[in-house]
Structure 1
Amino acid sequence: MSDVSRTAPEKGPLIYRQSIFTRLTHWIWAIALFFLLLSGLQIFNAHPSLYIGQQSGFEFDNAVLEIYAVNTDAGPRGRTRVFGQEFDTSGVLGMSGDAARPQFRGFPAAVTIPSFQDLATGRVVHFFFGWVFVAALFVWFLASFINGHIRRDIIPKGEDIKGLPRDALDHARLRFKHGRSYNPLQKLAYFGVFFILFPLIILTGLTMSPGMDAAWPWLLDLFGGRQTARTIHFGVMVLLVAFFIVHIIMVLAAGPLNELRSMITGWYRASPGTPTSAGDKP
């Protein structure tokens, strides 16, 4: 029986893809957004309803989301009403915990900081990490503008728009190309996050502050009132959570070790055939 020669699969070059500023702010955002989400749900639980317009209350009918509990013949149940459509969400929203000791609150204790109802502590945590988030975003914008990261990797160009259908099809087939720069879908997603979602969640957060409304009254006009700003703030949070879930799925599908190495050391293993430069490693 003859020997069969085996060759190791070809490896692409190691390229330096992520700067120290991108890596540092990436992990700061991950931590800050975690605490912002859970403390934000704590704040939301103080009044688990969202409205459109300047005002809210019993005499108004402008709620787009309500989470509450009701008494029924079968006992208390959790309810969620979205645009007038009511759903039974017992055990998750409106009423959670075990049957012997149910908790009547919007979101369950497992997803709020602190776990018990404490609006004051939730606001302190939320505001602290809110400013951490803003500071990291300022550093990222300044560094990325200077080193060309925004121009090179974030803002979609004409060829990116043209290549979007093919790139979407490749992603659907789990065929990933590890290049020197981001692919069209990544550029479009990151552009939407950095230039639409992040500014929106910051500005709507500021609009809910009476002090900021006094200093910048145009914020209320921009978002159509404090209640509308609160609703947009919540909606953007949902979109960011969705982005995070898709982001994690793509990282796992594309090769988690390579992606993590890129965000820890800056070095990224590109696909074979990727053009090399003097600073690349074999």
Structure 2
Amino acid sequence: MTEPGAARPSKGPLVYRQSIWTRVTHWVWAICLFFLLLSGLQIFNAHPALYIGQQSGFEFDNAVLRIGAVNTPDGPRGQTTVFGKTFDTTGVLGMSGSAEQPSFVGFPGAVTIPSFRDLATGRVVHFFFGWVFVGALFVWFLASFINGHLRRDILPRGQDITGLPKDVADHARFRFHHTRHYSPLQKLSYFGIFFILFPLIILTGLTMSPGMDAAWPWLLDLFGGRQTARTIHFGVMVLLVLFFIIHIVMVLLAGPLNELRSMITGWYRTSPGTLREEGDKP
């Protein structure tokens, strides 16, 4: 027992927070999403436009995003149109590279795999890591269901909903509580990733496959056509990239060494007194 007025320990105890299944699948997803993003941009460059509806064509324009290059009195310029609003994106989208050797592609080669125009290779890379991603997700769901990680740390409870405003305010003030269990904001974020964004990006990806459409024609009805599925697929990709950026920022702010140790060894340093507050034994 600690006497009243005695100094509290500067460090909390180490707890085993992440199972081997969570750690392995976490890093497999990180690798897969990297290659999926860059190869996906290579595939997108084959036709850098997105549509809403069952079809696209020259007789009408239902594009919600279009990236390309146009001729101007000052020479060619990169141009991006989003919901009818046009922006000059020279040097980034539509037209990149040097003035002597410009590259007229949607996304520059620096962010595509391969870095040059090669749709066939981009598709091979994309499909390979796509199936690895799906396999890792299946393994994670099965392991998390068996070891209780899914019920304990991912599925939100009533107390997580009520505690969300305070947790959001604490994160906004960079006040992080290092505990054995995920915070309400973490739970709801991971729930959205695993039960909304991941299924959406997989199903919309399958919807763009003619073979899958023949086997599962209900996919086209579910997403309103192949073109709409492609747009949703792209939008989910943008949301996942934003989540990744925020995730990395939070890791750096919360203590990168502790967070990395948790995802490499499974052991996590908690804040002093948190185990007692949670009712766990140190």
Q: After TM superposition, is the score higher than 0.5?
A: yes
Q: Which amino acid is 1:92 matched to?
A: V
In structure 2, the gaps of 5 or more residues are: 1-6
Partner of 1:25: 25
What is the 5 A alignment of 1:3-14? 10-14=10-14
For 1:110 and 1:9, the matched residues in 2 are separated by 48
Q: Is the 8 A contact 2:53 2:227 kept in 1?
A: yes
Partner of 1:114: 114
Partner of 1:101: 101
Partner of 1:234: 234
Partner of 2:246: 246
- 1:57 to partner: Cα distance: 1.5
For 1:21 and 1:109, the matched residues in 2 are separated by 35
Partner of 1:133: 133
For 2:180 and 2:105, the matched residues in 1 are separated by 48
Give CA-to-partner distance per residue, 1:164-203, whole Å, 9 cap, x none. Answer: 0100010011000011100000001000000000000000
Q: Aligned with 2:24: secondary structure?
A: helix
Partner of 1:219: 219
Q: Which amino acid is 2:160 matched to?
A: D
What is the 5 A alignment of 1:164-203? 164-203=164-203
For 2:57 and 2:105, the matched residues in 1 are separated by 19
- 1:8 to partner: Cα distance: 9.5
Q: Which amino acid is 1:178 matched to?
A: H
1:144 matched to 2:144? The reply is yes
Q: Is the 8 A contact 2:9 2:272 kept in 1?
A: no
Partner of 2:49: 49
Q: Aligned with 1:197: secondary structure?
A: helix
Q: Which amino acid is 1:160 matched to?
A: D
For 2:275 and 2:201, the matched residues in 1 are separated by 39
- 1:9 to partner: Cα distance: 5.4
For 1:170 and 1:131, the matched residues in 2 are separated by 38
Q: Aligned with 1:272: secondary structure?
A: coil
Partner of 2:72: 72
Q: Aligned with 2:102: secondary structure?
A: coil
For 1:98 and 1:189, the matched residues in 2 are separated by 40
Count of residue pairs brought into register by the alignment: 273
Q: Is the 8 A contact 1:93 1:107 kept in 2?
A: yes
My pick for the range that moved more, 57-66 or 261-270, is 57-66
Q: Which amino acid is 1:189 matched to?
A: S
For 1:115 and 1:9, the matched residues in 2 are separated by 52
For 1:260 and 1:124, the matched residues in 2 are separated by 32
- 1:60 to partner: Cα distance: 2.1
Partner of 1:3: none
Q: Which amino acid is 1:153 matched to?
A: D
Q: Which amino acid is 1:107 matched to?
A: F
In structure 1, the gaps of 5 or more residues are: 1-6
Q: Is the 8 A contact 2:8 2:272 kept in 1?
A: no
Q: Which amino acid is 1:27 matched to?
A: W
For 1:112 and 1:274, the matched residues in 2 are separated by 45
- 1:59 to partner: Cα distance: 1.2
For 1:229 and 1:275, the matched residues in 2 are separated by 46
Partner of 1:4: none
Q: Which amino acid is 2:57 matched to?
A: G
Cα distance, 1:153–1:8 mapped onto 2, change above 3 Å:
closer
Q: Which amino acid is 2:224 matched to?
A: G
Q: Is the 8 A contact 2:49 2:63 kept in 1?
A: yes
Partner of 2:4: none
Q: Which amino acid is 2:141 matched to?
A: F
Q: Aligned with 1:275: secondary structure?
A: helix
Q: Is the 8 A contact 1:13 1:274 kept in 2?
A: no
For 1:201 and 1:8, the matched residues in 2 are separated by 47
For 2:60 and 2:191, the matched residues in 1 are separated by 38
Q: Which amino acid is 2:116 matched to?
A: F
Give CA-to-partner distance per residue, 1:137-168, whole Å, 9 cap, x none. Answer: 00000000111111100011110110101000
For 1:79 and 1:275, the matched residues in 2 are separated by 55
Computed over aligned residues only, the root mean square deviation of the Cα atoms, in angstroms, reads 1.1
